[in-house]
Amino acid sequence: MKIMDKFKSGFVSIIGRPNVGKSTLINRLVGEKIAIISSKPQTTRNNILGILTEGNTQIVFTDTPGIHEPSTMLAEFMVKSANEAIKDTDVILFLVEPIANVGRTEEKIIESLKKQDAPVILVINKIDTVKKDILLSVITKYTEKFDFAAVVPISARRSDGVDTIKTEILKYIGEGPQYFPEDMITDQPERQIVAEIIREKLLHNLNMEIPHGIAIEIFSMAESETKIVIEANIYCEKQSHKGIIIGKQGALLKKIGTDARHELERMHDKKVFLSLWVKVNEDWRNKRGKIANFGFEI
Ligand code: GDP
Ligand code: MG
């Protein structure tokens, strides 16, 4: 008689300062693009679930916003959700830059890690940017501060070391239910993924402070067998920002729309019709009601 393997499942939180490569890693782990990647910090506003189902195992990842000093209400909300993410998790992936000096943010994260029981895997990302001796001193500095379950140097960008992370995680994943269907890779609603892609293209095309005061609202989306028709509002904080986003004779907005459309067409393998409007919504970052309107839970 063949003994069936029991199903295993668990939750993994990915934490670390903004820009360290959390979204890049989660996309690599799950094998598809679900989180937006940007060279500008703090672009991930809420937890994104990435779901990896392989054989009889399911790992549910949360991509948390970076832990940092709260300044506006939106930032406070981000810190809160990062702290929440540490609770009720089976494994924590703590991502750091390959810098041989434990920063203040990392010190703070380590303090909160000490207050919980889940095993913590130290993931040193971007090793494609440093020499081996630097990497060794990074490992030394961090392991002096905390008893990590494992230390895994990776390059999320080049997909180096990502399988080792999976192997390490599996050591701590026990028997559990299959929470999600096996073909599901995220719990993010389709509209949210579309909004994130538009926001990513905005960030890539704008070179200044404005992007973090931006929210995208998909107000209509209709999909047929051959095409998807999407209409979205881009909200910014100031009239002057609106002008910048639109650009000379609408050139920048057109570029943003084209970039987003190309990516959406690649993802869906269908024609995409995308209409974008830019609106001003002053000081939305500090207005609770408005944050809720944009889909953030408080
Ligand atoms: P997050 O804010 O932690 O989610 O970081 P992102 O995943 O958005 O990445 C921030 C920036 O770091 C982007 O420009 C990425 O392309 C870059 N990045 C991510 N992983 C690597 C890596 O392994 N090597 C290098 N050189 N850059 C990376
Ligand atoms: Mg991110």
Residue closest via CA to ligand 1's atom 22 equals 126
Confidence of residue 292 (pLDDT cuts 50, 70, 90): very low
User: How far, in Å, is the centroid of ligand 2 from the Cα of 292?
Assistant: 20
Ligand 1 proximity of 26 Cβ (cutoff 6 Å): no
Q: What percent of the chain has pLDDT over 70?
A: 76
Confidence of residue 177 (pLDDT cuts 50, 70, 90): confident
Contacts of 203 (CB under 8 A, 6+ apart): 36, 38, 40, 43, 211
- Dihedral pair phi/psi, residue 41, rounded to 5°: -65, 160
Ligand nearest to C-alpha 157: 1
Closest ligand 1 atom, residue 37 Cα:
8
Ligand 1 proximity of 38 Cβ (cutoff 6 Å): yes
Is the pLDDT assigned to residue 289 strictly greater than 80? no
Is the pLDDT assigned to residue 131 strictly greater than 90? yes
Q: What percent of the chain has pLDDT over 90?
A: 40
What pLDDT is stored for residue 226 in this prediction? 87
Please compute the mean of the pLDDT values over residues 170-185 and round it to a whole number: 85
What pLDDT is stored for residue 291 in this prediction? 47
Ligand 1 proximity of 101 Cβ (cutoff 6 Å): no
What pLDDT is stored for residue 74 in this prediction? 55
What pLDDT is stored for residue 1 in this prediction? 47
User: How far, in Å, is the centroid of ligand 1 from the Cα of 220?
Assistant: 31
- Give tens-digit pLDDT for 181-219: 777 777 666 777 888 889 889 988 887 656 567 888 888
Q: Give the Cα separation of 182 and 58 in Å (integer).
A: 8
Is the pLDDT assigned to residue 49 strictly greater than 90? no
Is the pLDDT assigned to residue 294 strictly greater than 50? no
What pLDDT is stored for residue 81 in this prediction? 59
The mean pLDDT value of the chain amounts to: 81
Q: Give the Cα separation of 61 and 91 in Å (integer).
A: 10
Q: Which residue among 13, 14, 15, 19 is best mutated to probe the pocket of ligand 1, counting the most ligand atoms within 8 A of its Cβ?
A: 19
Confidence of residue 136 (pLDDT cuts 50, 70, 90): very high
- What distance lies between CA 6 and its chain's CA centroid? 31
Residue type, 186: T
Q: Dihedral sign for Cα 275, 201, 237, 69, please.
A: positive
CB < 8 Å & 24+ apart, contacts of 35-38: 35/63, 35/196, 36/196, 36/197, 36/199, 36/200, 36/203, 37/200, 38/200, 38/203, 38/204
Q: What is the dihedral of CA 256, 258, 263, 264, to 10 degrees?
A: 100
Residue type, 241: H
Ligand nearest to C-alpha 95: 1
Confidence of residue 271 (pLDDT cuts 50, 70, 90): very high
Residue closest via CA to ligand 1's atom 13 equals 39
Ligand nearest to C-alpha 27: 1
Confidence of residue 284 (pLDDT cuts 50, 70, 90): low
Q: What is the largest CA-CA distance in the chain?
A: 73
Confidence of residue 179 (pLDDT cuts 50, 70, 90): confident
What is the CB neighbour count within 10 angstroms for residue 57?
18
Report angle CA 43, 45, 51 to the nearest 5 degrees: 100
Ligand 1 proximity of 27 Cβ (cutoff 6 Å): no
Is the pLDDT assigned to residue 70 strictly greater than 60? no
SS3 assignment, position 216? strand
- Give tens-digit pLDDT for 74-114: 556 556 656 666 667 899 999 999 999 998 878 888 888 88
Entry pTM: 0.69
- Joined tokens for residue 108: 């703070």
